[in-house]
Structure formats: C-alpha cells, structure tokens
A and B are shown apart, each in its own frame.
Chain A
Amino acid sequence: MIVAVMANAMSGWFIKDSDVKLGTMYQRGVELKFAVIPRLNGFEGPLAILVDGASASTSEIMAGGLQDLKRARIFGTRTAGAALPSIIETLPNGDLFQFAVANYVSESGKELEGVGVKPDVEVAHTLAALRAGKDRPIEATINWIYANPVSTRRP
C-alpha cells in the first residue's frame, strides 16, 4: 500500500499491536504520548509513505513515527520540519502572535522541528522527468512495492 495523504490518525490502520506510540509531545507540565489505536481489519502488507517539503505537522509525525518503528519505508524528499503545535494570541495592538507550545520527540529520541524526516529513499521530481510525464517518487515507490510482493494479510 502507498500512502500519500497523511495524518497521525491513520496509523492505527497499519499497526496491529497495542501500546505502540509514535513519540511524545512535551508541554510545560504535560507529556502527551502519540498513541496508536490499532483498528480491526488493518493493513499488514508493505507500506510506503510519500513525502516532500510540503509534508508538515502530524503528517511528519506519522511518517517519522512509522519509519522509527520500521513499519513503513519513506520515499521522496525531506519533510518541512514544522511539527510543533502552536497557538495564536491577539496582541493589544491587534497583531497576531503565534508561538509553539510543545516539543515533539520521536520514540527513538529524534526531534523533528527544523530537521524534518529524511526519507529512506531520497528521490525528487526533475524537470525532465515531469516533461516526460514521469513521477519519479511514485515510480520509485511502485518499484519497491513490486520488489517486495508480500501478500496483503488482514488480521
């Protein structure tokens, strides 16, 4: 399976074990674990995740978290490195002040902010390929899927 649209909430479809986490969000006085809640009839086959510089926030946490767990292989280019939650306060003069309220650390101890997720297979679009009607990241992903023909088991 290839996942190109991502959200942390989707992880439960690809993890069958309980008590699995994608990392921890540290706020002042609060630690929130990114818990994965396994779904019934989830997908257990090979999983590729496509990312690029526009993949930010929870999509990075999902990609980085599943990479950490060795559950997914990541294709594309480095993600945005903009994973932290923020809130916006209105200042007395009407300006808006946005600031991060927590730090995120993956299960393997990596911080994503400013760094992003480095794909397992770095492959970018090129002008020539696009002109030729080719999508290099998708092609790399499909090739990997075909090279790993594991049956799509369902629990």
Chain B
Amino acid sequence: MRILFLLAALSSCFAQSPTAERILDRYIEVTGGKDAYAKVKSLSILGTMEIKGQGVKGEMRMYRMDGSKYYTVVDLPGIGKQEDGSNGNVVWDKTVLGPRLKTGVEKFLAICAAGAMSEYGRGALEKDSCYSKAEVIGEEVVDGKTAYKLKMTPKEGKPEEQYYDKESGLLLRTKMVLPSPMGEVPIVAIVNEYRDIDGIKTPVKLTNEMGAVAMVMTFTSVKFNEAIPDAMFALPPEIQALVKAGRK
C-alpha cells in the first residue's frame, strides 16, 4: 500500500512539472511576449567586455539584422580587435589569429544566435529553427533560485543545458559546448542582470565562464529597430579574399 501511495505522489509531482514547451513559451511571455519580439527587426548594442582577473577591459559593439546578419567587434587593449560577422550567407571572424570563415556546426550555431535578436534566449526564441528536441531533465538550485533544467538538442552540435527560474520564468544560465579552431570549448553563460527596454526584458549584463577564465559583458546601450546601414554587414577585404580563394 505504501508503495502505491509513493507512486501516486511521484505521479502527482510529474504531472505538475511543466513541459519544456511551456517553460520556453513562458520565457517569451515574461520577457515581453511574442508580439513584442515580432516587431524587432534589428538590434544595436554598445558596451564593454572585461576579462576578469587580467586587468583587460575594452569596448564592444554588436549589431544584428534580418535574422541572419550580424557584426560584433570587441577591442581589447593589449590583445587587439576581435571581429565576428555574417552577411546572411558568409559567416566569419577576424581575430589576432587571422581571418577565418566559419562552416558546419559553427556556422549553424552562429546564425541561430544572431536570429534570436537577443544576446540570449535563443532556446526559446529560435526553438523551431535551431533545435530538434527540448526536454525537462530536472530541477536545480542556481544562485539560490530553483530552476527548471532543460536539455536542448540543437539540429547541429552538442546538447545544451538551459536553466529557467521556476519563479520568474527567466533564463538564468546556459551550459554549452561550442566548436572553435581551439577545439570544443565548454562555456557557462550566466545572465547577471535583465532590464526592461522598449517592452522587452533584455539581458544587459552577462558572464561567460570558460574554465577559470570569466568574461563579463556589460551593455550600456541596447536599441531595437535602429537603422543599421547594410554596409555594417559587408565582408571585410581579408574575408572576401578567403571566399575568393575558396579557403576555410
């Protein structure tokens, strides 16, 4: 009899757990709603990036448009300018290591991130185009908050773990493994602060942890639907040369 009660109690718990679909939809609701996101056609962000513990801090600018075009530039004193972009077709980066074209999984995930029209939350915002599966795999306490833990399987690349605050519905952190020239890099992306901007609760401070190294991004200006010239997404001459040479 006790076992029956236990099973009933467990069934009841499972019945109360929302589906992954519901958790992702709730993120959209609590951050502004589908209609608010539908109006966003471009995104312009100004801010800073700091590598903690190394005394390195520089300016960053990010622009996104039409779901697949993006350009990000970070200028770190002593390290140099790091650029990353897409004209909607060619996805590239230009760092101190040199210019490079992104292909395969790297290209797919970059376009997914750009398509979300937010620096975060692509799990909810680009659910259908980027992910093949979303499952609730448990609950975990994250920074003192109980969170639903979701396993999100992208159509290309390795599964991510996303943690949504049970109370507020907000995304707290994402654990992912990103492909790069340096190999597969595990990253924990944490949202430190959200702010209401034009009706959308937007992440304005994020920390990306990569092993012992933490990079803090602070956005001082976030603008939706600001006119961005198409030239912003034009391929730099070095990237054009790689495309012409058929190089990766």
Contacts and interface: CB of A to CB of B under 8 A. Distances in A.
Interface string A5-46: 001110010000010000000011111111111111000000
Most central of A29, A36, A87 by chain B CB within 10 Å: A87
Nearest to A101: B212
Interface of A: 7-9, 12, 18, 27-40, 85, 87-89, 101-102
A88 B98 contact: no
B79 to A, nearest CB: 10
Nearest to B212: A101
A135 B210 CA distance: 44
A9 B80 CA distance: 11
B182 A39 contact: no
A102 B212 contact: yes
A37 B247 CA distance: 11
Contacts of A18: 248
B13 interface: no
A78 B211 CA distance: 31
B211 A9 contact: no
A87 B54 contact: yes
B242 A88 contact: no
Interface residues of B, number: 26
17 contacts: A9-B80, A12-B98, A18-B248, A27-B210, A27-B211, A33-B182, A35-B97, A35-B183, A37-B98, A38-B98, A39-B99, A40-B241, A40-B245, A85-B213, A87-B212, A88-B54, A102-B212
B106 to A, nearest CB: 13
Most central of A34, A39, A85, A88 by chain B CB within 10 Å: A39
A87 B242 contact: no
A29 B245 CA distance: 37
A137 B24 CA distance: 64
Given A29-B186, A37-B97, A87 B53 contact: yes
Interface in B218-246: 238, 241-242, 245
B102 to A, nearest CB: 12
Given A34-B182, A40-B245, A87-B53, A12 B211 contact: no
A40 B242 contact: yes
Nearest to B93: A37
B158 interface: no
Nearest to B183: A33
B36 interface: no
Interface in B163-202: 181-183, 185-186
B55 interface: yes
Nearest to A35: B181
B211 A102 contact: yes
B96 A28 contact: no
A30 B100 contact: no
